[in-house]
Structure 1
Amino acid sequence: MTGEIILTYAIAISLLVGSIFALVGAIGLLKFNDSMTRLHAPTKVGTVGIGAFLLASMLYSFTYGEGSMHELLIMAFLFVTAPISANFMAKVNIHRRACDTPPEPPRDDTWSTLNVPEEDKHMEGDSAKPSSTAG
């Protein structure tokens, strides 16, 4: 088998994988009821499907013509911008109260600080002591 035949099989597999992921993303976009669950279909599954299509295009251009790196730039742009746009769409849904929001976390001054809660102060001194297993 020559390299051209192997790359042709790789192109076919990449197109098949891309079409399956794109089909699952489209079905998920239609089937999910809530806007937050519907958000996952095009951003997660669709991104992988489009990435597989672009990979097939890159392989084809390097196999049967002059190679091009345009697809690599498109893929990088897609993989960077898709999570950001999904985050913004989720924030809009949360701020519009269009979805169930998680409960508010308890308010205290120990989260993300070096303050230790009162009930854990007895453990603070234990971790500073050296172990007595010198041998």
Structure 2
Amino acid sequence: MQQHDRLVQGQAMVRLLFAQLLISLGRLRQEYSTSGQQEYDHYVKQCLNYLHENYDQEIHVQDVAGIVNLHPGYLQRIFKNHTGETLMQYLTRLRMDKASMLLHTDIPVADIADYVGIGSRQYFHALFKKHTGFTPVHYRKARFTRINNL
């Protein structure tokens, strides 16, 4: 009987140790995924800061990847996972948002294209229409028409 009791106690000890091992592995995995997420957040924040500070310049994925010291493909992957957009989609949306704000002023449309980092006026018009449904000129006219009707 003593041998049977020791066997049962040994099995209980093995189960207890196994359960502790599983709990420890679960905690380590959670810590790893959290720290990895924080690291990704850091890279994405660096990218966002760079884009917001330099949107008016010519920017390529390779440029941003060099700033954060990551491979361009890897940066694209973590950026899209965090923002839902590629770097270039985000940059284009940022530029179009800035252009929309500038169209509320008297700044010539050609200058606005340069101010938001798009060298080609035709390309700027095409991008703006794609994002807003209006050409920059129609967007500005619609805004002024709305203001005058108020």
Structures share a fold, TM > 0.5?
Answer: no
Q: TM-score, normalised by structure 1?
A: 0.32
Taking structure 2 as the reference length, what is the TM-score of the superposition?
A: 0.30
